[in-house]
Structure 1
């Protein structure tokens, strides 16, 4: 009874925009711990009161963490990813898990295209060359997107939006997924190595988690070849970081654009020092529009859940 009638305490374990924090504080008792939860519950949080947790796919929420929150009713992932939320444990405990599929998909797709253009045209190294006075010696031809071959790892919402943008460049499309999609553009490749061999740009846009860990391996990068670029806007775990470092050192691929990386925010010096590597700090999905959409989805999921919980308590089933 107390869990339903008591205060609506929300524990947020990730950094959130100010507007989202303001909205949560208006309607809930918010415990904000953007650095997450390691071994012990964050200071000042009474586990008996926490009815909702806000997290994301990277931070997640484990079975043991759920066990430490006896009043927990709902886990809301801020954004589309929820791979590190133990959904099986939540189901077993009767805890609702929500996320916001599609809320930032367009922004991620835009970012992927931007990384592809920047890598192909050499925006970063050429800007640096001009800064140090190497204008005349830096005007060699560069590849572009028009007519190039794009391989997509994943054909979900983001993959489809990247594909639609790529068609504006008359790119040849191929994709790898768990199964072919009859309505998807481009050719389906059951074998990722074959897709990489047929691509000038390999863009990773699939789900993270154990099933896709190191899916893009040294063999895949070798197949992509010395003129090929790899772009990752999915999860860092999908691309084998050491394999990428080795491929770049051996000039086995032309370059990489990374919005995510294993062990982020730590980035190996070998990647930061490479002139044909671009690294952005996991912001592919962040734009004013996408953050508003994610905020609205989060608030709606919490509001609907607590309204339903109150109705269930007020009107017991027969």
Structure 2
């Protein structure tokens, strides 16, 4: 849950949250692309009938509407790409949590000494099963009514409540205990780094499916769940480093930027990658590489196959003629 630690600040991981943006961009471009291509024959057919006075306005309006749908998809993807990417930071110097919460709210901060931590949970149910997720939030509340005034979601999602409780205990130790009492954090791949993306996805988005050596846990459920997830999210997750490199970041508040400066040796410990982890990062684990090749193939067939099929539906009469 922690991507960086030093005497001045903590920065929290957000890979799981970051994955929503490339997925939405992928769906928008995929949907807009096939809708535009499949509608081309219909649009030209309607435009060819504009010489019929009675249908002129109707066909013109329908053509504009059909063109507006893919345009709206592409504009949506463009706006997502150009939306500021937020950092979640705990300043040890200022004793505040900070997060960018959009142009309307800007940088929001809550005071560590007065916040109320809470674990937020939800359960998603689909035809393929149910899954529970838990997140750690910190809130500033009105003392008398306990009404929430503002809050920040500190953690990425986890499958277990205990993970968020452990994160809060880690934060408490970081803020209140000497460095040698703070447990070491795991090594994290830098944001925007393409090298090792499969290992990062394993650890940050599907850790509950894997053991410590990046192997799927035993049982048919884990294999099916991985295959279903990879089918829909593989290409979106592969976009995460690219999104991190190209999405704009909001400038830090002056007091936060100043408080993040520090000098000297970092007394907080970071566990270096194990041999297995390093091999996973370097793409040298054959079974992990095979698993992700299968995931890539499933995702390519799902998106590419459905794209070509929908385009074929639109062009069927052009290719084979009217029934």
* Shared fold, TM over 0.5: no
The structure showing larger relative contact order (alpha-carbon pairs under 8 Å, at least 6 residues apart) is: 2
Larger helix share, 1 or 2: 2
Structure whose alpha-carbon radius of gyration is higher: 2
TM-score normalised by the chain length of structure 1: 0.22
